[in-house]
Amino acid sequence: MNNPSYLSETLFNRKVFGYAAITAYKHLMWPMCFIGLPLVLFGLEGNMIEQITFFLGMSFVFFIPYLVLCFTMHRFSLKSQKQKESFLALDPIERGKIIGDELSGWW
């Protein structure tokens, strides 16, 4: 019987990884826009290009650890083999959305 690993079914699957990244980025952009955007616009001296570059750079600096933490916390939240099998039985799009929503309750 073929036993797929969590890593190959989530991180190496482009569709799952893409939807997880999009969902996680949407969850991270809410606080970034409400806190970071006014800070950049009113607190940073420079022209508009510098402000946009700084905001996008900082959003990616926060996004990469957030996405890694989403994958890590979701991996450790699957306690039993039955939970893992039921998760892997889902559609790749649903798997990505579940992984991206993993830390949404922590806000």
Summarised one tens digit per residue, pLDDT across range 37-93 is: 888 778 778 788 888 888 889 899 999 999 999 999 998 888 888 998 899 899 999
Distance CA 49, CA 74 (A): 37
Are the C-beta atoms of residues 97 and 23 closer than 8 Å to each other?
yes
Task: Quote the Cα angle for 65-98-81, to 5°.
Answer: 100
Residue 51 has a pLDDT of 83
Residue 1 has a pLDDT of 40
Closest by alpha carbon to 66, among 37, 88, 99, 98? 99
